[in-house]
């Protein structure tokens, strides 16, 4: 009898939870700011370091299930000037570069929706996998294979968003997220004593979704 009671209770709770889940899908555009530093130590006095702050743009699609959102975004950063800062023999030197970077981002967010009438706001946290498609350091239009994939990385994501109802099924979605890299896939170059890569991205998204 007790087992039957717990089965009925669990079934009722499951039905109640699933009844509150709205499945939707949509498209979105991205605009953002990326800041990163790549530093490698060749000996105790030489610390070559590349630093960059650039703007990003992209587009993609998402699937939403009220408490979870999965997204896939194609993002690009094209023809961006940056500076290679090299500390050599305790002397700082700067060299200008021009580069292009394209990549895919696969995101998974956990959301906590708070309904305010026709607007639903939601704080969120999750993970983002960044996969490099191409990287051109010198602006010659050709992918540099040696460093094409080493910046593939997993990021932790924090942020918030809002869904604004237009009709019963159609809504506009806005969000802003902060992404911080966890562990880049750097190559094991024997000539370097140490390598570090730190990157964070602040991205804003605007899109439209449709509830099924």
Q: List CB contacts of 192: < 8 A, sequence separation 6 or more.
A: 40, 41, 42
User: Which residue is associated with the tokens 């009671």?
Assistant: 5
Confidence grade of residue 85 (pLDDT, cut at 50, 70, 90): low
* pLDDT for the residue 17: 46
18-32 confidence digits (pLDDT tens): 456 889 999 999 998
Residue 5 lies in a domain: no
Total domains in the chain come to: 1
Residue 127 lies in a domain: yes
Residue 88 belongs to a domain with what CATH number? 2.40.160.20
Residue 101 lies in a domain: yes
* pLDDT for the residue 188: 52
Task: Tell me which residue range forms the domain holding 189.
Answer: 23-211
Single pTM value for the model: 0.77
Q: List CB contacts of 79: < 8 A, sequence separation 6 or more.
A: 98, 99, 100, 139
């Amino acid at each position: 009898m007790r087992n039957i009671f717990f089965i009925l209770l669990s079934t009722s709770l499951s039905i109640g939870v699933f009844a509150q889940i709205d499945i939707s899908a949509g498209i979105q555009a991205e605009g953002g700011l990326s800041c990163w530093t790549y530093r490698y130590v060749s000996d105790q006095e030489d610390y070559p370091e590349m630093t960059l702050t650039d703007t990003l743009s992209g587009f993609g699609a998402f699937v939403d299930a009220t408490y979870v959102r999965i997204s896939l975004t194609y993002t690009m950063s094209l023809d961006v000037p940056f500076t290679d800062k090299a500390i050599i023999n305790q002397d700082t030197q700067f060299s200008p570069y021009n580069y292009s970077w394209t990549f895919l981002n696969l995101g998974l967010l956990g959301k906590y929706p708070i309904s305010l009438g026709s607007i639903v706001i939601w704080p969120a946290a999750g993970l983002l996998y960044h996969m490099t498609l191409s990287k051109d350091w010198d602006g010659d239009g050709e992918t540099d294979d040696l460093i094409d994939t080493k910046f593939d990385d997993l990021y932790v994501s924090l942020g918030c968003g809002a869904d604004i109802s237009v009709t019963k099924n159609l809504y506009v979605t806005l969000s802003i997220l902060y992404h911080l890299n966890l562990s880049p896939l750097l190559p094991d170059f024997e000539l370097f004593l140490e390598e570090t890569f730190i990157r964070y991205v602040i991205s804003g998204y605007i899109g439209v979704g449709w509830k099924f």
